[in-house]
Structure formats: structure tokens, C-alpha cells
């Protein structure tokens, strides 16, 4: 049995112990509040003890949830290849579920009807939800990006979507958070909503510092002739590839070094049109 396996096993045992402890504490707090001895006490004394049990539950329950989260962090830290974004999602989800469990049990110990609170807040929730559609769309898209991971931090990528009017945005991925994906290129920082990133055609692995441009060409212009013209105008430093075919045009992706002006692409197209 390897050292790594023993550590993983110990981590899972610790996680299971804390999880069982949380449930046992919840059951014990509930049984303590419902015990016959407590019910036989005077009303004021009983109420003070019930509040004491609830307060103790909130404190101890929060501590146990925090230990659960730390255990998961410690287990993930032993895997150097673990994605920090996935770890962030797991941490937040575990915290949300754990603290929600502590809150619900605590409210029940205080004899607060959780169902009434949920029903009473339903109308408000609908109103807020309608107003927050964009935010929720980006949050859900962020979860998709964390789970699917179509690109990594530090990779050079290009996004193209109808939400940008067909314009491509390229750059090095410097951050992916719950709401935005952030690119940097040549001192320019682009902050793109996650919902638009998920719906984009994504090109990953373009050479960092190069410019990517998608050019629709009429079928009258030969791809080989256009490729030769671009090679001539850029000193052989342009890379071209056909990406898709349309009804009247076909789309060519052109990649050129960052120091070359995109004007050369326009000039090449204009030269062919002048010949035609």
C-alpha cells in the first residue's frame, strides 16, 4: 500500500467522521429539545434551554462544516494536477449545502416554520429571479466552464459568437470567475460574460501574441491564390485555414504575427476584387 493511498484513505475517513458527526449532533439536539424532562420544566426555563440548545447547534454545526471544507482542501492539495477552479466550486457548494443544513435544523430547534418562510418568499424570489436572469445565466455558464474546462488559464484562445456580431476576441486567459472570463493581449484587457463564452466557437492553442481574424471570401477568390498573396504581403509569416462554407462565401481563418497590421488582409482582398 503506497503512502499516497494511505493519505487518501485517511482523508476520506476524516471526511466521513465529520459528516456522521454533523448528523448525530443534529439528531441529539432535536431529541434533547423534545425530551420529557425538558417539557416538564416551567415555560421560561424551557425556552431558555431551547435557545441554548439552538445556539450551541449553530456554533458547533458551523465548526463541523468548516472542518469538512478543510478536509476536502487537504485532500485536493495532495493532487498537484487538481484544477483550482474546480476546487473553488466544490468548496462553495459544500459550504452552501452545509451551512444551509445547519440553518434549517437551527430554525426547527427554535420552532420556526421553515415552510412558511419559503412560501412567503416565493413571490419575492420570482421578482428577483426575473430581474437577475442575466446574472444567473452567467453563473450557470461559469459552472459549465468549471466542469467542462474547454480551455485552461494561460492558454491563448479566440472566441467567436453571434452575441459579438461575429467579431472574434482573442487573448491569453488570465482568469475565469463565476461571472466573467478575462483575456489579455498586448496590454488590452477584455472581460467577456461567461454566457457569451459558452455559446462561442472557441479556438484554443493559437500562438500567443499572434492575431486571429476570420475572413469571408467569395468563391471567385481561390484559397490558394489568397494564401499566396497573404504569404507575399507578410513575408511568409501568415497561416491560413478554411473553417466553413456558406451559400455565397467560404470562411478563412488568418493568423498573423502581432506586429503586422490587419490592414494587409484588407489590401489583399481589395487586390483580388480589383482583378475581378
pLDDT value at residue 255: 79
One domain, residues 157 and 260: no
Domain for residue 137, yes or no? no
The residue segments making up the domain with residue 107 are 3-120
pLDDT average, residue stretch 27-36:
78
Provide the grid cell at 159. 472566441
Domain for residue 128, yes or no? no
Specify the higher pLDDT residue, 55 or 73: 55
Got the DSSP string for 212-244?
A: EEEEEEETTS-HHHHHHHHHHHTTS--EEEEEE
What integer best gives the mean pLDDT of the chain? Answer: 76
pLDDT value at residue 164: 61
Specify the higher pLDDT residue, 210 or 115: 210
One domain, residues 22 and 73: yes
Domain for residue 141, yes or no? no
One domain, residues 115 and 7: yes
Specify the higher pLDDT residue, 251 or 114: 251
One domain, residues 169 and 254: no
Percent of the chain clearing pLDDT 70 (strictly above): 75
One domain, residues 253 and 194: no
Gap between the Cα atoms of 4 and 113, Å rounded: 47
Helices 84-109, 3-34: axis angle to 10 degrees equals 20
One domain, residues 195 and 215: no
Provide the grid cell at 266. 484588407
The yes-or-no verdict on residue 170 having pLDDT over 50 is yes
Domain for residue 160, yes or no? yes
One domain, residues 217 and 184: no
pLDDT bucket at 1, cuts 50 / 70 / 90: very low
The yes-or-no verdict on residue 133 having pLDDT over 70 is no
pLDDT value at residue 127: 47
pLDDT value at residue 113: 63
One domain, residues 12 and 112: yes
pLDDT bucket at 123, cuts 50 / 70 / 90: very low
Domain for residue 127, yes or no? no
Amino acid at each position: 500500500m503506497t503512502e499516497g493511498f494511505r493519505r487518501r484513505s485517511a482523508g476520506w475517513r476524516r471526511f466521513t467522521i465529520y459528516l456522521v458527526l454533523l448528523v448525530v449532533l443534529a439528531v441529539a439536539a432535536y431529541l434533547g429539545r423534545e425530551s420529557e424532562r425538558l417539557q416538564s420544566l416551567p415555560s421560561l426555563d424551557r425556552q431558555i434551554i431551547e435557545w441554548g440548545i439552538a445556539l450551541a447547534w449553530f456554533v458547533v454545526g458551523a465548526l463541523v462544516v468548516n472542518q469538512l471544507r478543510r478536509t476536502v482542501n487537504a485532500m485536493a492539495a495532495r493532487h498537484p494536477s487538481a484544477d483550482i477552479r474546480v476546487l473553488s466550486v466544490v468548496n462553495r457548494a459544500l459550504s452552501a449545502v452545509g451551512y444551509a443544513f445547519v440553518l434549517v435544523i437551527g430554525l426547527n430547534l427554535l420552532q420556526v416554520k421553515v415552510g412558511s418562510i419559503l412560501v412567503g418568499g416565493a413571490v419575492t424570489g420570482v421578482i428577483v429571479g426575473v430581474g437577475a436572469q442575466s446574472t444567473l445565466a452567467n453563473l450557470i455558464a461559469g459552472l459549465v466552464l468549471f466542469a467542462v474546462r474547454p480551455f485552461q488559464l494561460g492558454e491563448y484562445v479566440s472566441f467567436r459568437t453571434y452575441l459579438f456580431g461575429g467579431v472574434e476576441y482573442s487573448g491569453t486567459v488570465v482568469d475565469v470567475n463565476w461571472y466573467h472570463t478575462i483575456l489579455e493581449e498586448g496590454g488590452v484587457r477584455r472581460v467577456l460574460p461567461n454566457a457569451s463564452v459558452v455559446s462561442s466557437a472557441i479556438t484554443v492553442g493559437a500562438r500567443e501574441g499572434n492575431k486571429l481574424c476570420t475572413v469571408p471570401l467569395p468563391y471567385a477568390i481561390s484559397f490558394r491564390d489568397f494564401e499566396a498573396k497573404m504569404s507575399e504581403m507578410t513575408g511568409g509569416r501568415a497561416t491560413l485555414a478554411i473553417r466553413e462554407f456558406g451559400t455565397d462565401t467560404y470562411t478563412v481563418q488568418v493568423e498573423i504575427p502581432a506586429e503586422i497590421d490587419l490592414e494587409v488582409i484588407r489590401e489583399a482582398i481589395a487586390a483580388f476584387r480589383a482583378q475581378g
